[in-house]
Amino acid sequence: MPISPRRSSPARPLPEDSLAHALCCAAELIARVAGGAALTDILADLWVPRPATPPAVRGAIQDLTYGTLRDYGRQDFILGRLLDKSLPEPVQSLLRVALHRLDVRPDSAHTVVDQAVNAAATLLSGRFKGVVNGVLRNALRQSATLRYAADADLVAEMRHPPWWIRRVRDQHPQDWRNVLAAGNVHPPMALRVNRRRSTPEAAAAELAEAGLSARTWPGGALLLERPVPVVRIPGFAEGRVSVQDIGAQAAAPLLDVASGQHVLDACAAPGGKTAHLLELADVDLLALDADPQRARRIDENLQRLGLSARVMAADCRAIDRWWDGRPFDRILADVPCSASGVVRRHPDIKWLRRSGDIGRFAAQQAEILDALWQVLAPGGKMLYATCSVFREENQDQVARFAASHADCHRLTIEGQTDRQFLPCADHDGFFYALLHKAA
């Protein structure tokens, strides 16, 4: 259902361009996420009935929502010190959003409190307007004490669920703090150059001419100094460049595709890696995705880039429903996973995931590997990929598979048995393992 602030009849409508309106909408969104809804879905619900919403208004709402969700655990810790019991939604989430805003904009504390109170007046008949005012003013008076206490609490400091923190700490003992910290910040923005239409040098020159600073990475990826809307990126609409994380851009080159090969991208949506493979060589490529709506996005992305492939909506595990019997020379298995390596792009994941989900993802990944191995040609290569930092989905999964398939040989990546990108300032978290099928 479309989201709209719950307003009492006597309250004046909030001006669309006001901070109060953004606080109110963000609170509604976060209340829905706290109730189990996915942020992508409810954001779509918000904009469908409001197609004319100005970009600045959309941006303000999304910034507050994403920022508050990235701060998972911190606001609730502070509210636990200021409230005897939780308030009804969406008032509780309004306080979460306001506390986040106070944290990132302490110079505008008076405005934030004033606008949060205005927002509270439109929620639940305004019954909690005074409570919101009092809680936020207490938060400001006790700010130093509350900040010190929050920094001493592991969940409030690291802004991740306790089980997530334990898992990362146990599996990445040298890097766990950096991994968790990376999940709490704005993600970087990188571009992949379509080598059929441009070059990294030409794309970099176009960016400079447009006043956008970027660094060139090995392999030709361009990392923007700061993210910008795609409408500002020269060459995007014309298909000369695509937005794709640097870590994700590592996938296609690892498969070592050559013209004429029969290639499968088994979990392809939204099509970034599919397009990259087609940019590298003239291959006969089949792109699958189990979700028909997501599969349509593959076609849309390929059309913008001037590329073509066969696209099918199908579960790659059900090979009898889509495979024509011709083995594939190369397979990209970018499997569904916890998305723990890209959580800063999808911060609702921290609210929605449970520890038991990791085992369920691992079971699904094992089914996919077993199915796809059947359609890989002898002598062919499969790249197993996730955007996870958890061993159960990565190293442990590949080790189990290799041990149970005598014809599977693990190929090295840069001298290592696999490649784990841990999230950092320049890229997200990804895992890759390259498997060769004996001839």
Kind of pairing between the strands at 190-193 and 222-224:
antiparallel
Closest listed residue to residue 368, CA positions, set 235, 266, 259: 266
Cis peptide before 270 (omega within 30 of 0): yes
Torsions phi, psi of 24, nearest 5?
-65, -50
Which member of 25, 267, 337, 387 is catalytic? 387
Q: Is 387 a catalytic residue?
A: yes
Determine how many CB atoms are found less than 10 A away from the CB of residue 45. 16
Radius of gyration of the chain from Cα atoms?
24
Kind of pairing between the strands at 419-421 and 310-313:
unpaired
Tell me how far apart the alpha carbons of residues 212 and 205 are, in angstroms, rounded to a whole number.
10
Closest listed residue to residue 249, CA positions, set 426, 128, 126: 426
Quote helix, strand, coil % in the chain, to nearest 5: 45, 15, 40
Q: Which residues lie closer than 8 Å to 62 by C-beta, 6 or more apart?
A: 43
Residue written as token pair 């723990």: 340
Q: CB–CB of 429/341 below 8 Å?
A: yes
CA angle 285-423-433, nearest 5°?
Answer: 45
Grouping H, G, I as helix, E, B as strand and the rest as coil, residue 232 is helix
Residue written as token pair 């590949």: 398
Active site residues: 387
